[in-house]
């Protein structure tokens, strides 16, 4: 059974239909990249997967559980699905360590000592050992983004969503964030990434989806999509960005 099943999803903001019947599956341990021009509905799509945006039609299932079910326990869903945002969105009044520890301690009510151990290990894992007590305002964009990744991982999710996580970063710091994600993927974490980093998508993804104007235009393994795109829209997009 796929870990995430997206079937015929429609989503509108007022009169504007952003997603017009999108379907795809993600299996356990798979890394999926969603690429496409700005405004094609990529971010909306992954935000729907953890219920930050609701959908009007279709179905999204995570581990067989319908996300669009009004009786769904959103908290249970979000425990399984971690998300990292473009703007990091760290809590500016908390240190890096506190940012990572907060949700497991306050929401999951896990023992503080245990969480702290895990949080320190996660901070070390994203190569920020020594920055535990630093506040977000004193960290670079790339460092903040890695804390945000550690913060999501602290909830022990089954799947991680990355919403253009390098789009707001300096070119030098993009690399360190991508490296972190690459390591995660190598460890078998299921990842869905919306990205403009074509080189990265090509290197890391198991499957790439090209979206435009609310639909999936074309998809396939990266080698195939990046070298032998069939659709004219995909070809044009790739020729512009690669």
Partner 1 sequence: MFSLIAPLFQRLYDETGLNFIIFYDRYEYDRFVSGIAISLQLIFWSILLSLVIGVLGAWVQTSRSRLLRGVVNGYIQLFRNTPPLIQLLFFYFGLGAFTPQVDMGGYYEPLISSFAWAILSLGIFGGAFNVEIFRSGIEAVPKSTAEAAESLCFSRWQTYAYITLPLAFRISLPALTNNLVSLAKTTSLAYVISVPEMTYTLNQVWSDNINVPEMMLVLFLFYVIIVSLIAAGLHWLEKRLALPGYGR
Q: Enumerate binding residues for partner 1 (CB under 8 A).
A: 50, 52, 75, 78-79, 82-83, 85, 87, 89-93, 102-103, 106-108, 135-139, 148, 151-152, 155
In this structure, the dihedral spanned by the alpha carbons of residues 74, 104, 139 and 53, taken in order and rounded to 10 degrees, is: 0
Taking the complex as a whole, the smallest distance from the CB of residue 154 to partner 1 amounts, in Å, to 9
Nearer to partner 1, 106 or 112 (CB): 106
CB 92 → partner 1: shortest distance, Å? 5
C-alpha 68/C-alpha 197 separation (Å) is 30
Q: What whole-number distance in Å separates Cα of residue 23 and Cα of residue 33?
A: 14
Nearer to partner 1, 93 or 112 (CB): 93
Kindly state the smallest distance separating residue 98's Cβ from partner 1, in Å: 10
CA 239 from centroid of its chain's CA atoms: 25
Long-range contacts made by residues 76-79, C-beta under 8 angstroms, separation at least 24?
77/50, 77/51, 78/50, 78/51, 78/155, 79/108, 79/155, 79/156, 79/157
Q: In terms of CB distance, is 39 or 92 closer to partner 1?
A: 92
> To the nearest whole angstrom, how small is the minimum distance from the Cβ of residue 151 to partner 1?
7
Nearer to partner 1 by Cβ, of 24 and 85: the residue is 85
């Amino acid at each position: 059974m796929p870990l995430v099943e997206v079937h015929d999803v429609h989503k509108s903001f007022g009169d504007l239909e952003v997603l017009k019947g999108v379907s795809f599956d993600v299996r356990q341990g798979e890394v999926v990249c969603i690429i496409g021009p700005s405004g094609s509905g990529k971010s909306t799509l992954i935000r729907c997967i953890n219920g930050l945006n609701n959908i009007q039609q279709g179905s999204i299932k995570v581990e067989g559980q319908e996300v669009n079910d009004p009786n769904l326990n959103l908290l249970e869903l979000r425990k399984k699905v971690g998300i990292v945002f473009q703007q990091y969105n760290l809590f500016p009044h908390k240190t890096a360590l506190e940012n990572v520890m907060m949700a497991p301690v306050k929401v999951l009510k896990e023992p503080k000592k245990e969480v702290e151990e895990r949080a320190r290990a996660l901070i070390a894992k994203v190569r920020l050992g020594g920055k535990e007590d630093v506040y977000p305002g004193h960290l670079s964009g790339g460092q903040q983004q890695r804390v945000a990744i550690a913060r999501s991982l602290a909830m022990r999710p089954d799947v991680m969503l990355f919403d253009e996580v390098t789009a707001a970063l300096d070119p030098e710091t993009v690399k360190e964030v991508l490296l972190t994600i690459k390591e995660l993927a190598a460890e078998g974490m299921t990842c869905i990434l919306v990205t403009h980093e074509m080189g990265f998508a090509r290197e890391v993804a198991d499957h790439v989806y090209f979206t435009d104007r609310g639909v999936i235009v074309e998809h396939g393994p990266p080698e195939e999509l990046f070298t032998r795109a069939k659709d004219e829209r995909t070809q044009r997009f790739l020729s512009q960005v690669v």
